[in-house]
């Protein structure tokens, strides 16, 4: 069943790549640009994908491998699946740390995880077209007449990033493992600085081919700083302020 | 915008969306048939009473937030394959930034869709390979005492720090208000879901940008007035 879902997702993604690539060529996007998008996106995805994989393995302790694998391949996300499974198991009087052996308990968790997650798919076909016409249309219309569209796009982007950066500075995670503290702020600062330095190097030495990889590389440097800090200054790295 | 292309994207997106919905609903049904065990309705109702208000409401806000940023193809694929805020959204935005194209343009639509599709394939392959080949070793990566533990617990600050760096330097004035606003909200509601928090910081950021660049708005308003 899991293999079927994997194949389904891959075919669907390949379908969209082929259609987009074809249209990209028609509207004059260079092959180079689309190729760079493919390579940098694959590299970008690698570290977060490992985190998702680790969640699959953690959930597999209680639910076996198939259900978490499927759920985190279709619609699922790190935070939702754990919360959904935890809630279902606690309603059944169990916990996520013990193996589910009763088939009724297992199917209850499977139904809960799936029903809880399907709502966006019910909503999307009605919402996407309308939203793109109204919000997207309004932005692109004003783009034509002035710089306002650019600024709104940048502001929306900054708004998204701000939510995550604020969480790294002042947030609490649901499982208490990644609360804001010295480590999260250090990683944040190191990755920002690494990105700035790498971008400057690329511009100065005209390394345009490496430019798409500066972002994933900075991300890895940021993650590496967490390892170094934890290894050499474990007491300081453990400080959280919430 | 070529409306013909967008119409096609909506059609493809809706078809794959419904196919995924059927696949999703089939999973628990098949499991119940194979195991000859149907769910405990009491426990299921209790769980859904917690999950539905929490996630179905968030879904409205998330869809409204992601569509203008990721375009139609990107949004459909993101919602079908999941892990949006922690992966697909930053990946799509990074690709558009790298290709120097903007959301809500045909170029943005193409690049965002390619990027999210590649991200979905990569994630699917990494999970499949990990599950099939490395399942026994993987828990050790995040186990207590592992050198990689702190790195993988801090993927998000690393990812968004690197992604935001360029924008924050270029538009630092706009960034001040949503950053302070986000931190203040988290002081009072430290576990607020990121989908809701993101919606609030986007609103703060756009209002902040409108105030900072009020001269542009005024010019635009004057142009519109003189045309009419």
The tens digit of pLDDT for each residue in B57-85 reads 778 888 888 888 898 999 999 999 888 88
Q: Could you count the other beta carbons within 10 Å of the beta carbon of residue A99?
A: 10
Q: What's the sign of the alpha-carbon dihedral B69, B74, B80, B81?
A: negative
- How big is the CA angle at B211 (ends B208 and B215), to the nearest 5 degrees? 140
CB contacts under 8 A, B 83-142 vs A, are: 83-87, 89-91, 93-95, 98-99, 101-107, 109-111, 113-128, 130-131, 135, 138-139, 141-142
Contacts of B214 (CB under 8 A, 6+ apart): none
How many structural domains are present in chain B?
1
B45 domain residue, yes or no: yes
Residue-wise pLDDT tens digits, B146-183: 888 888 888 888 988 988 888 888 889 999 999 999 99
pLDDT number for residue B141: 72
What was the pLDDT predicted at A36?
A: 92
Chain segment A101-140, per-residue pLDDT in tens: 888 888 998 898 888 888 888 889 988 888 877 776 666 5
Task: Decide which of B108 and A65 is more confident.
Answer: B108
Scanning chain A, the segments in alpha helix (DSSP H) are 2-26, 31-63, 66-71, 78-91, 103-117, 119-131, 137-145, 148-170, 182-204, 214-232, 234-237
Are the Cβ atoms of B209 and A73 closer than 8 angstroms?
no
Contact: A44, B181; criterion CB under 8 Å: no
The pLDDT assigned to A18 comes to 96
What's the pLDDT score for residue A51?
78
pLDDT digits (tens, 9 = 90+) for B97-154: 889 898 878 899 999 999 999 999 999 999 989 888 877 776 677 677 788 888 888 8
Q: Pull the structure tokens for residue A52.
A: 């998702």
Tell me if chain A has a CB within 8 Å of the CB of B227.
Answer: no
Give me the pLDDT at residue B228, please.
60
Using only C-alpha atoms, chain B has a radius of gyration, in whole angstroms, of 21
CA pair distance B148, A186, nearest whole angstrom = 16
Question: Who's near A86: CB < 8 A, 6+ residues apart?
Answer: A95, A96
pLDDT tens digits along A213-232: 788 889 899 999 999 999 99
Q: Touching check for B172 and chain A: CB below 8 Å?
A: no
Residue ranges making up the domain that contains B3: 1-135
Is residue B123, in this structure, part of any structural domain at all? yes
The mean pLDDT of A164-192, rounded to a whole number, is 86
**A191 vs B162: CB contact, 8 Å cut-off?**
yes
In a domain, B200, yes or no: no
Q: Which pLDDT score, from 0 to 100, does residue B105 have?
A: 84
Q: Is B211 on the interface with A (CB under 8 A)?
A: no
The verdict on residue B152 lying in a domain is no
**Cα-based angle B90, A140, B220 (whole degrees, multiple of 5):** 120
Within a domain: B201: no
Q: Provide DSSP, chain B.
A: --HHHHHHHHHHHHHHHHHHHHHHHHHHHHHHHHHT----HHHHHHHHHHHIIIIIHHHHHHHHHHHHHHHHHHHHHHHHH--IIIIIHHHHHHHHHHTT--TTSHHHHHHHHHHHHHHHHHHHHHHHHHHHHSTTTGGGTSSTT-TTHHHHHTHHHHHHHHHHHHHHHHTHHHHHHHHHHHHHHHHHSTT--HHHHHHHHHHHHHHHHHHHTHHHHHHHHHHHHHH-
Interface mutation target, options A3, A4, A20, chain B, most CBs of B under 10 Å: A20
CB atoms within 10 A of CB A146: 17
Whole-number pLDDT of residue A175: 61
Task: Give me the total of CB pairs closer than 8 Å, taking one residue from chain A and one from chain B.
Answer: 581
How many whole angstroms separate alpha carbon A85 and alpha carbon A68? 9
* B200 vs B144, higher pLDDT: B200
Residue B31 lies in a domain: yes
Residues in chain A with CB shorter than 8 Å from the CB of B168 are 158, 161, 192
| Cβ A187 vs Cβ A226: under 8 Å | yes
Distance from C-alpha of A215 to C-alpha of A24, rounded to nearest angstrom:
23
Let me know if residue B203 belongs to a domain.
Answer: no
Non-local CB neighbours of B92 within 8 Å, separated by 6+ positions: B69, B70, B74, B78, B112, B115, B116, B119
Query: What is the pLDDT at residue A142?
Result: 53
Residue B119 lies in a domain: yes
Chain A residues touching B36 at Cβ < 8 A: 103
């Amino acid at each position: 069943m899991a293999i079927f879902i994997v194949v389904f997702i891959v075919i669907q993604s390949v379908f969209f790549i082929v259609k987009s690539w074809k249209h990209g060529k028609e509207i004059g996007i260079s092959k180079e640009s689309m190729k760079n998008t493919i390579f940098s996106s694959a590299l970008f995805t690698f570290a977060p994908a490992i985190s998702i994989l680790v969640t699959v393995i953690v959930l597999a302790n209680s639910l076996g491998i198939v259900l978490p694998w499927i759920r985190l391949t279709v619609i699922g996300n790190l935070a939702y699946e754990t919360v959904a499974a935890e809630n279902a198991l606690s309603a059944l009087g169990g916990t996520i740390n013990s193996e589910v052996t009763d088939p009724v308990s297992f199917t209850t968790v499977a139904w809960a995880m799936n029903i809880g997650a399907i709502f966006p798919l019910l909503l999307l076909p009605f919402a996407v077209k309308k939203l793109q016409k109204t919000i997207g249309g309004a932005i692109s219309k004003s783009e034509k007449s002035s710089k306002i569209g650019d600024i709104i796009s940048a502001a929306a982007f900054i708004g998204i990033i701000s939510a995550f950066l604020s969480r790294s500075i002042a947030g609490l995670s649901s499982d208490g493992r990644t609360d804001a503290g010295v480590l999260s702020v250090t990683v944040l600062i190191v990755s920002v600085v690494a990105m700035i330095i790498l971008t400057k190097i690329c511009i100065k030495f005209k390394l345009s081919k490496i430019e798409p990889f500066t972002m994933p590389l900075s991300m890895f440097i940021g993650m590496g700083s967490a390892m170094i800090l934890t290894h050499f200054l474990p007491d300081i790295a453990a400080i959280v302020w919430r | 915008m070529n409306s013909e292309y967008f119409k096609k994207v909506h059609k493809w997106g809706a078809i794959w969306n419904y196919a995924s919905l059927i696949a999703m609903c089939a999973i628990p049904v098949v499991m119940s048939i194979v195991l000859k065990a149907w769910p405990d309705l009491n426990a299921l109702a209790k769980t859904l009473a917690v999950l539905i208000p929490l996630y179905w409401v968030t879904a409205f806000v998330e869809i409204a937030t992601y569509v203008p940023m990721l375009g139609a193809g990107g949004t459909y694929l993101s919602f079908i394959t999941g892990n949006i805020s922690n992966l697909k959204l930053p990946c799509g935005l990074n690709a558009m930034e790298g290709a120097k194209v903007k959301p809500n343009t045909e170029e943005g639509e193409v690049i965002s869709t390619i990027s999210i599709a590649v991200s979905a394939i990569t994630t699917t392959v990494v999970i499949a390979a990990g599950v099939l080949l490395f399942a026994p070793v993987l828990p050790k990566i995040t186990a207590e005492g592992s050198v990689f533990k702190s790195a993988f617990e801090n993927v998000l600050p690393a990812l968004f720090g690197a992604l935001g760096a360029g924008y924050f330097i270029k538009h630092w004035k706009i960034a001040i208000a949503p950053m302070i606003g986000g931190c203040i909200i988290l002081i009072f509601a430290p576990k607020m879901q990121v989908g809701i928090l993101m919606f609030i910081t986007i609103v703060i950021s756009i209002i902040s940008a409108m105030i900072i660049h009020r001269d542009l708005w005024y010019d635009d308003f004057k142009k519109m007035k003189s045309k009419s």
